[in-house]
């Protein structure tokens, strides 16, 4: 399996895992809605655990100061929560950066690090990582 196939496999399995295991908090948080930072951060960890380090966590901001997170390499985008936005029907895995439709909505604010001080993300990461490697990426 080449690196692109590995990235696709990990991303697709992570999407399935997140869809089935992220908790829902009413209308506010129901995967993919409002789970962009969590999904992108945890996927980035999964990729790095497999030796794939070409992606970075990106934070974008729109005109209303709303934020969105996704993964980006020099050439590609992985956005497992893109389909939370109107007019987007599915997540993006290995989409060419030039084809990413959210570029028109979110301006890249900066490349960011995974928030190590966010206890909720730490707890979620620990739980989802265990489930992912036991049930999905075994």
| Those residues with Cβ within 8 angstroms of residue 49's Cβ, 6 or more apart along the chain or in another chain | none
Written as six digits, the tokens of 87 are 């007019």
Written as six digits, the tokens of 96 are 């060419």
Residue 111 host element (H or E): strand 107-112
| Number of independent structural domains in the chain | 1
How large is the average pLDDT for residues 123-127? Answer: 94
pLDDT at residue number 114: 86
Map tokens 């301006």 to a residue. 107
Model confidence at 49: pLDDT above 80: yes
Confidence of residue 104 (pLDDT cuts 50, 70, 90): confident
Cα atoms in the Cβ-side hemisphere of radius 13 Å centred on 55: 35
Give the structural domain span for 78.
3-136
Q: pTM of the entire structure?
A: 0.94
Q: What is the Cα–Cα distance from 47 to 13, expressed in whole angstroms? A: 12
Confidence of residue 123 (pLDDT cuts 50, 70, 90): very high
Written as six digits, the tokens of 29 are 């948080």
pLDDT at residue number 115: 81
Lowest mean pLDDT among 14-28, 29-43, 66-80: 14-28
């Amino acid at each position: 399996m080449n690196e692109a196939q590995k990235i696709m496999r990990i991303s697709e399995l992570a999407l399935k895992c997140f869809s089935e295991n992220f908790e829902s908090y009413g209308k506010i948080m129901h995967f993919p809605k409002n789970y962009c930072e969590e999904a992108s951060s945890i996927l980035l960890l999964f990729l790095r655990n497999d030796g794939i380090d070409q992606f970075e966590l990106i934070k974008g901001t729109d005109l209303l100061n709303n934020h969105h997170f996704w993964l980006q390499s020099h050439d590609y985008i992985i956005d497992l929560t893109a389909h939370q936005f109107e007019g987007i029907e599915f997540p993006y895995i290995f989409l060419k950066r030039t084809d990413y439709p959210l570029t028109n909505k979110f301006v890249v604010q900066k490349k960011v690090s995974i928030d190590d001080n966010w206890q909720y993300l730490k707890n979620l990461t620990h739980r989802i990582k265990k489930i992912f490697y036991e049930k999905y990426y075994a």
